[in-house]
Amino acid sequence: MATAYVLINCELGSEEAIIGQLKGLEGVKEVHGTFGAYDILAKIESDTVEKLRETITWKIRKIEKIRSTLTLMGIEGQT
């Protein structure tokens, strides 16, 4: 199982709408609004790293009003 944590910066006031969209995406296991340098934290899981990459690149990063993302890939076996 491939896991990634995506830190998301979005336009001011769009957090709740983006959180709602993220919750509807396949592979998104958790979504949290945050204080600090990033606005949203999302945990993504998939069978393969390639599917994970596709979800992040073609689904999450294409959501309107997301300004930037930072992806942290989990290391299998270090849980």
**First CA to last CA across the chain, in angstroms?**
12
Residue 79 lies in a domain: no
Q: What is the pLDDT of residues 4-63, one digit of tens each?
A: 999 999 999 999 999 999 999 999 999 999 999 999 999 999 999 999 999 999 999 999
Which residues form the domain of 6? 1-35+45-65
pLDDT number for residue 1: 87
Select the more confidently predicted residue: 74 or 18: 18
pLDDT number for residue 75: 87
Angle at 21 between CA 10 and CA 3, to 5 degrees: 85
Residue 12 lies in a domain: yes
Number of domains in the chain: 1
Residue 79 in this model has a pLDDT that exceeds 80: no
